[in-house]
Structure 1
Amino acid sequence: MKKQELSNEIEKKREELIRVASTNGLSSSKAIRCSQELDHLLNTYHSRFIKKVNLH
Structure 2
Amino acid sequence: MSDMDEILTQIEDLRKKLNTLIKENNTLLDPKVIAASQILDSVLNEYNEIAKKSDK
Looking at structure 2, the residues matched to 2 and 47 of structure 1 have their Cα atoms a distance apart, in angstroms, of: 12
Q: TM-score scaled to structure 1, two decimals?
A: 0.86
1:15 Cα deviation after fit: 0.5
Unaligned runs of 5+ in 1: none
Structure 1 segments, 4+ long, off by >3 Å, are none
Looking at structure 2, the residues matched to 31 and 21 of structure 1 have their Cα atoms a distance apart, in angstroms, of: 6
Give deviations 1:2-53, integer Å, cap 9, x for gaps. Answer: 110000000000000000011112110000000000000000000111x232
Q: What letter corresponds to residue 15 of structure 2 in structure 1? A: R
2:29 to 27, 30, 34: 27
Correspondence 1:1-56 to 2 at 5 A = 2-24=3-25, 25-49=27-51, 51-52=52-53, 53=55, 55=56
Give identity over the alignment, percent: 34
Unaligned runs of 5+ in 2: none
The RMSD of aligned alpha carbons is 1.3
Q: What letter corresponds to residue 39 of structure 1 in structure 2? A: D
